[in-house]
Structure 1
């Protein structure tokens, strides 16, 4: 069986997309969709890639993130980005590589892209593997605000009622955005997410070391473009019931951005099979063996 290790930088769907393809040509295909949004796939390959030798793995740096081209050099421009565009990017990569069927493996925000791909392209999707998914953003915003308030020793002051009261009739109330703004006014965004996502300082430092090795930074423009399109108001759960492919969730009990609230949506509405590990947002940092066992088990079904 021929083993490939190829790097691509291609203009697809109006964007310069960077992706790597590694593994046996005839093996089951996995396409990794990183979180962030605006992060990259380099750390996942560095930390886990050697253990995925039984699969043909596509490591995609999402539009505007990692080694892909800048967002402002896309046909859509730097101020516009939405979920449909990111899903269309995945489909463009699939078509370019000639993959008949594959498994999208998404983590955090990337799990949302993986789920929507499966909903729109069920015939191209073998199954979905969602790692610590984010699917309900106003709820996630409230979690951020609650943790920021706890860290500052303050009661939670949810701006929801105030936002609803001042929003003109016919306009969508920006509750999630107001919650996030209030949270980040209390605690620096990075410090807040680190507190919620990582089990301990050792795990955080392992990821930071991998990021330093790759020398890949950025992603703020991707996040801003999504926010401009209403990211913090987005509620994906109603669409979960439309997904016809099997959904497997690998959840970290110590990742308070996803577990249990976000995971519960997939279990209740998507019929997901859930494996819970004693890990944070990046389970391969804390329990690589447990993560790989859950991944392999999902791929065998």
Structure 2
């Protein structure tokens, strides 16, 4: 096994993946693998802001393919314009094999919840339990949320383009409803301002995360986002797969994260039988109430 606190960059599944392994090598529990969101973000800020609270556990902080300190998509065997959930799940399985771990605890945040859930669905024998924080699982619905919130902030009526898109889509083709909704939302309000308004409980939390991001000097993610969008990300609906999960599922949600709670979370509770804990927090609950998040995570890891 990798020695504690050792940064690694390994060629796994045709990509240069960066990860850091912390905690005791002889820990009896399955290692936690943190799967960041974005898509295209990184694991640096989570480790910096919350890593000390997990010091007694074996934790792997992974920068997913094309993200953070991992190599660019253009240098992968699969190419720079093709990225999908299958590949990200295969990356995680390749990492498990490299670490020599019998099982993992995928801990997915935001978009990273998709990777955690699909890994658990495909590899139940390799998954001890799955934990997701403020998950995104239904992207056309997420796009509608973004459009609704942008319309409210601009003070204009909601104009959902879904019916028009369906009407002009040729028979037999999938109507790109999610993409049209997102384009309409970001026409009303730029993506950064809109997501900031939905994600953060207050400006202090936002500034703390921005300071940590600046300290880490990790920017980008556009290549990953573009590749996923090209593969139809905004039309992706994961809820039909949720009943197939065979491992314990735990959700930690922030009541102030309007991108995830309640609509996205309800899918996991209703179809996945998830155990849901709701905190007085935003999209990054470890920023708003570290103690409450630590308690919720500990319960999810031990219940």
Q: State the TM bucket, normalised to the shorter chain.
A: over 0.9
Aligned length: 300
1:3–1:96 distance in 2 versus 1, CA, 3 Å: closer
Instruction: Report the secondary structure of 1:75's partner residue.
Output: coil
Instruction: Report the secondary structure of 2:209's partner residue.
Output: helix
Q: Which residue of 2 aligns with 1:284?
A: 286
**Structure 1 residue ranges without an equivalent (≥5):** none
* Aligned-partner Cα distance in 1 for 2:290–2:26: 25
Q: Deviations over 1:8-61 (max 9, x none)?
A: 101110100000000011222100000000000000000000110121000000
* Aligned-partner Cα distance in 2 for 1:242–1:204: 36
Q: Deviations over 1:184-220 (max 9, x none)?
A: 0010001000000100100000100110010000001
Give the 5 Å matches for 1:62-141: 62-141=64-143
1:264 and 2:281 aligned: no
* Aligned-partner Cα distance in 2 for 1:163–1:189: 22
Q: Which residue of 2 aligns with 1:23?
A: 23
Q: Which residue of 1 aligns with 2:171?
A: 169
Q: Which residue of 1 aligns with 2:182?
A: 180
Q: Which residue of 2 aligns with 1:5?
A: 5
Q: Deviations over 1:55-113 (max 9, x none)?
A: 10000000000000001111111110000000000000010000111200000000111
1:249 and 2:251 aligned: yes
* Aligned-partner Cα distance in 2 for 1:206–1:172: 41
Matched-pair contact (CA < 8 Å) for 2:128–2:247: yes
* Aligned-partner Cα distance in 2 for 1:3–1:16: 19
Q: Please, what is the CA RMSD of the aligned residues?
A: 0.9
TM-superposed CA distance for 1:3, in Å, is 7.0
Q: Deviations over 1:209-252 (max 9, x none)?
A: 11001000000110000000000000000100000000000000
Give the 5 Å matches for 1:217-236: 217-236=219-238
* Aligned-partner Cα distance in 1 for 2:245–2:125: 11
* Aligned-partner Cα distance in 2 for 1:64–1:46: 21
* Aligned-partner Cα distance in 2 for 1:7–1:96: 14
Q: Which residue of 2 aligns with 1:299?
A: 301
Matched-pair contact (CA < 8 Å) for 2:3–2:21: no
Q: Which residue of 1 aligns with 2:46?
A: 44
Question: What TM-score, normalized by structure 2, do the two folds share?
Answer: 0.98
| Structure 1 stretches of at least 4 aligned residues deviating more than 6 Å after TM superposition | none
Q: Which residue of 2 aligns with 1:208?
A: 210
Question: What TM-score, normalized by structure 1, do the two folds share?
Answer: 0.99
* Aligned-partner Cα distance in 1 for 2:196–2:112: 18
* Aligned-partner Cα distance in 2 for 1:103–1:114: 8
